[in-house]
Amino acid sequence: METPSIKNVRKGKGGISKKSDSELIKRYLESRDSAYFSMLYNKYSGKIYSKCISLLKNEALAQDATQDIFIKIYLNLTKFSERSKFSTWVYSITYNYCIDFLRRKKKEKNLFSDEMENPPDIVEDVPDNELLEMEVSRLKVVLEKVPVGDKAILLMKYQDEMSIKEIAAALDKSESAIKMKIKRAKHKAQKIYKEIFSNI
Partner 1 sequence: MSGKNSFQRLDEDTGGSSSGRGAPPEFVRENVTGSIKFIEYIGKIVELYLPNLFNTIKEITNSGSTENHEGKNDNVDPLNPSDLDNDPPGDIEGGAKSDHNYR
List residues binding partner 1 (CB under 8 A): 6, 32, 34, 37-38, 41-42, 45-47, 49-51, 53-54, 57, 59, 62-63, 66-67, 70-71, 74-75, 131-137, 139-140, 143, 154-155, 158-159
Contact 185, 130 (CB under 8 A): no
Q: CA–CA distance from 138 to each of 8, 31, 47, 119, 167 (Å)?
A: 40, 47, 21, 25, 25
Q: Which residue number, 6 or 116, has a Cβ lying nearer to partner 1? A: 6
Q: CA–CA distance from 103 to each of 76, 106, 110 (Å)?
A: 23, 5, 9
Q: Tell me the closest approach of the beta carbon of residue 47 to partner 1, in angstroms.
A: 7
Q: Tell me the closest approach of the beta carbon of residue 121 to partner 1, in angstroms.
A: 28
Contact 178, 164 (CB under 8 A): yes
Q: Which residue number, 59 or 174, has a Cβ lying nearer to partner 1? A: 59
Q: Tell me the closest approach of the beta carbon of residue 46 to partner 1, in angstroms.
A: 5
